[in-house]
Copies of this chain bind each other. A is one copy, B any other.
Amino acid sequence: MKKEVKLSSVAFPAPVYIVGTYNEDGTANAMNAAWGGICASDPPSIMVAVRPARKTFENIMNNKAFTINFPNEALMEVSDYIGLISGKKENKIEKAGLKTAKGEEVNAPILTDYPVSLECSLTDKLEVGSHMLFIGEIKRVLADEEVLDENDRIDVGKVGAIGYDPAGRNYILTNKVVGKAFCAGLGMLKKKED
């Protein structure tokens, strides 16, 4: 039986994107964003939605660049902290003891403690109600050697990324593989119509 529940922004799963940008003075800032997702294959592009009041909003507008860094469970505490206070109020990167490296392709800091990071160059933006959608072309994909398989492909099980549950405001694990895409439904595809 379907029931109508409270209207809100829910999706299962939502991601946890730690967005890296540079402040005007060259220090690094980070934001925890759950509103976003991949938005194109060619060129590889990702969207992250940011409220205008955020420090990250100013920084992306100024630098036309950002990084997306994916936290694992070990980085949950520090990633949540990043979401609890504004970069206008404290130097979160320093307080959290996170290391950064300047992007090679874009003017934004890679959070090198995170297992996978994307360097993104701002290509477009769109205002949607409370948020600005920043569209970034993915220029480089960086991963720790420990999360790669023998073909240098990222192994989702090794990344152990956490996601976000907007309904219950929980962090969730997203590393358990249960099937192969473009494969699980082949039997049904080949089934003759009744």
Query: Contacts A7-B44, A12-B15, A14-B38 known; A143 to B2 CB distance under 8 Å?
Result: yes
* A84 smallest CB distance to B (angstroms): 5
Number of copies: 2
Q: Which of A143-179 contact B (CB under 8 A)?
A: 143-145, 148, 152-156, 159, 161-179
Additional 8 contacts, C-beta under 8 A, given A77-B188, A80-B184: A7-B139, A37-B38, A38-B49, A39-B49, A77-B184, A81-B185, A156-B165, A170-B180
In the complex, the answer to whether A78 meets B185 with C-beta atoms within 8 Å is: yes
Q: A142 near B: Cβ within 8 Å?
A: yes
Q: Which residue, of A83, A145, A176, has the highest number of chain B Cβ atoms within 10 A?
A: A176
Tell whether, in the assembled complex, residue A176 and residue B178 are in contact, meaning their CB atoms are under 8 Å apart: no
